[in-house]
Amino acid sequence: MQGALNTAVTRNAVLQTVARLLRSFPASAQVHGVFLMLEDWTIENGLLTPTMKLIRERISTRYDAQIEAIYQ
């Protein structure tokens, strides 16, 4: 199912929606690429702190390949 989320059509639809919502934001806040996933980021899987903050180092380690693919 993960692959079905990341078709060009789906990603473009999401990017268009996000662009519309961020229209009034500065260029530095615009989104130019996405990777869609169904996995929740939770305390239990180690991606959130107990106060619901992102643990960026763990996220970047776990999703390194996907992050790199966005910038290709």
Residue 4: predicted pLDDT: 75
The residues, any chain, with a CB within 8 Å of residue 13's CB and separated by 6 or more, are: none
Same domain for 59 and 70, yes or no, is: yes
Residue 1: predicted pLDDT: 53
CB 35 within 8 A of CB 6: yes
Same domain for 32 and 5, yes or no, is: yes
The domain total for the chain is: 2
CA distance 68 to 57: 15
Joined tokens for residue 47: 């991606």
Same domain for 30 and 2, yes or no, is: yes
Same domain for 49 and 66, yes or no, is: yes
For residue range 9-65, list pLDDT tens digits in order: 998 999 999 999 999 999 999 998 889 999 999 999 999 999 999 999 999 999 999
Same domain for 44 and 69, yes or no, is: yes
Residue 72: predicted pLDDT: 86
53: phi then psi, degrees, rounded to nearest 5: -95, 145
Residue 52: predicted pLDDT: 97
Residue 2: predicted pLDDT: 59
Residue range(s) defining the domain that contains residue 68: 39-72
Same domain for 48 and 27, yes or no, is: no
